[in-house]
Amino acid sequence: MADPPRDLPPLPPLPPLPDDETRTLEHAPPAPPPPPSAPPREERRRAGGDGERPRRRQWSAGHALIVSVLALAIGVLLNAPGVHKSAYNKPDGWQRDVALAFTGPLADVSHALLLDRPRKGVQAVIGRSGADEIDTDIGLPAAPAPASPPAPPPGSPGNPTTPKAPAKVAFSPKKKLRLWVAGDSLIITPGYAIVRAAGGSPAIESVGGVDGRVATGLTRPDVVNWFDEIRKKMKELRPKAVVLGFGGNDDKAYMTGLPEGVSIDAFGGSVWRREYGRRVGGLMDAINRAGGFVIWIGLPQTRSPEQTQRFDVVNAVVQREARKREGRAAFIDTYTMFAGDDGGYTQFLPNGSGGLVEVRADDGVHFEREGGDMIARVVLRELNRKYDLTSWRKQSTS
């Protein structure tokens, strides 16, 4: 059994607590004042004490509208020369008159403020210098001297001997006939057919491809100045035979590039015919003087009787000019070539096998490939009539 607990000595008294810890809450010194609170955000922004950047001021819708208008105005002035040319090239009418009245002064202001310089610089870099110039100078050569009086007929007292026909200029695979095709949209399909047909002759070489441009002609040199273009191509390509097709967009009274003091009457009038004939004949003369022979493809009948009548007027002028230059120009009559059994418009014609083929496009104006091939065969016959393209075969086999 365990011994009874002994009496333990008393524990020593606890040391007294410090005075500051024995104080009651009432005796504690007052708490230090809290730090001053930060002023509101708006007050700090006004005072600029915390280094924050002031908030950007929002523009009103009116300011944005003003900036947009100014940007648009500057853009219009920078492009004013091109806009003015586009207005000048519009078809004749009140819309063109209004556009010219608005864009003409803009182009003048742009030029005066030198704002057209950046546009010209960009055009120079991309190789289109002068693209905004409005060129209406047709620059035709002077009319040829009047022809000498015709010689007396063979067998007459003044001409007892029969003159010999001049020898044809001969071409061969070593000396090829250089052929170029150009015109409006009506020349495109026949033009490629002519190039294909010419490729079958070793004595003919196509140069420059087919230069067919939609909505162009001889009445509006401001749209495309074919007078300048053909002169340049004659120097560059040196073709000996040039196939042209114009007139599909020339059946209107309005013309640009008129001589000073000349005003045009209605389409088909005496003044219109004279001026259009001057342009057609001038092109023929320019090609002849550069050593080329002209084959001009006339306008066909169309589905529209009114348009066909206008095309008749153009054909009559061109045919008359070609006849004046016999031996230097030839006219191909597609009006009768594509006539139906009744003499009028038809979209289908018989081919060599007797079957019907589509020769005209659905628009009733342009040609299908079969129609282009028909024209190409006539062009090749005309070239063989003018030049000697086959005698080289005999020389090569002898």
Residue 312 domain-assigned (yes or no): yes
Residue 44 domain-assigned (yes or no): no
pLDDT score at 26: 47
| Burial class of residue 3, CB neighbours in 10 A (0-12, 13-18, 19+) | exposed
pLDDT score at 21: 46
CB within 8 Å of 304: residues ≥ 6 apart: 364
pLDDT score at 25: 44
Helix-then-strand count for the chain, H and E: 13, 7
Q: Both 328 and 390 in a single domain?
A: yes
Other beta carbons within 10 angstroms of residue 374's beta carbon come to 19
Residue 388 domain-assigned (yes or no): yes
Q: For residues 225 and 135, give the distance between their C-alpha atoms in angstroms, rounded to a whole number.
A: 7
Residue 172 domain-assigned (yes or no): no
| Burial class of residue 258, CB neighbours in 10 A (0-12, 13-18, 19+) | middle
pLDDT score at 344: 96
pLDDT score at 122: 74
Q: For residues 177 and 179, give the distance between their C-alpha atoms in angstroms, rounded to a whole number.
A: 6
Q: Both 229 and 364 in a single domain?
A: yes
* pTM listed for this prediction: 0.70
Contact at 8 Å (CB) between 283 and 229?
A: no
Q: Strands (DSSP E) along the chain, which ranges? A: 177-183, 204-212, 241-245, 293-297, 329-332, 348-350, 356-358
Q: Both 260 and 367 in a single domain?
A: yes
Single-letter code of the amino acid located at 292: G
Mean pLDDT by 10 residues, the chain (398 residues): 58 59 49 60 53 62 74 68 62 65 67 66 62 66 58 61 76 97 98 97 97 97 95 98 98 92 93 97 97 98 98 98 97 97 96 91 98 98 97 81
Q: Both 349 and 212 in a single domain?
A: yes
Residue 132 domain-assigned (yes or no): no
Q: Both 240 and 92 in a single domain?
A: no
Q: For residues 268 and 259, give the distance between their C-alpha atoms in angstroms, rounded to a whole number.
A: 18
Q: For residues 398 and 393, give the distance between their C-alpha atoms in angstroms, rounded to a whole number.
A: 9
pLDDT score at 102: 58
Which residues share a beta bridge with 203? none
| DSSP calls for 225-261 | -HHHHHHHHHHHH--SEEEEE--TT--SS--SSPPTT
pLDDT score at 354: 82
| DSSP calls for 261-283 | T----STTSHHHHHHHHHHHHHH
Q: Both 326 and 236 in a single domain?
A: yes
Residue 157 domain-assigned (yes or no): no
When divided into structural domains, the chain yields a total of: 2
Q: For residues 175 and 66, give the distance between their C-alpha atoms in angstroms, rounded to a whole number.
A: 69
pLDDT score at 111: 61
CB within 8 Å of 364: residues ≥ 6 apart: 302, 303, 304, 345, 347
Alpha helices in 290-360 (DSSP H): 305-324, 334-337
Tokens standing for 96? 């063109």
Which residues share a beta bridge with 348? 358
Q: Both 236 and 358 in a single domain?
A: yes
Q: Both 255 and 181 in a single domain?
A: yes
* Residue appearing with tokens 């191909």: 332
Q: Which residue, 110, 125, 140, sits at the end of a domain?
A: 125
Q: Both 195 and 324 in a single domain?
A: yes
Q: Both 218 and 341 in a single domain?
A: yes
Find the domain containing 368 and state its range.
Answer: 177-397
Q: Both 211 and 117 in a single domain?
A: no
Q: Give the CATH number for residue 215.
A: 3.40.50.1110
Residue 148 domain-assigned (yes or no): no
Contact at 8 Å (CB) between 92 and 254?
A: yes
> What is residue 90's DSSP assignment?
S
Which residues share a beta bridge with 180? 242
Residue 225 domain-assigned (yes or no): yes
Q: Both 305 and 244 in a single domain?
A: yes
CA-based torsion, 106, 108, 113, 118: positive or negative:
positive
Tokens standing for 237? 């390509």
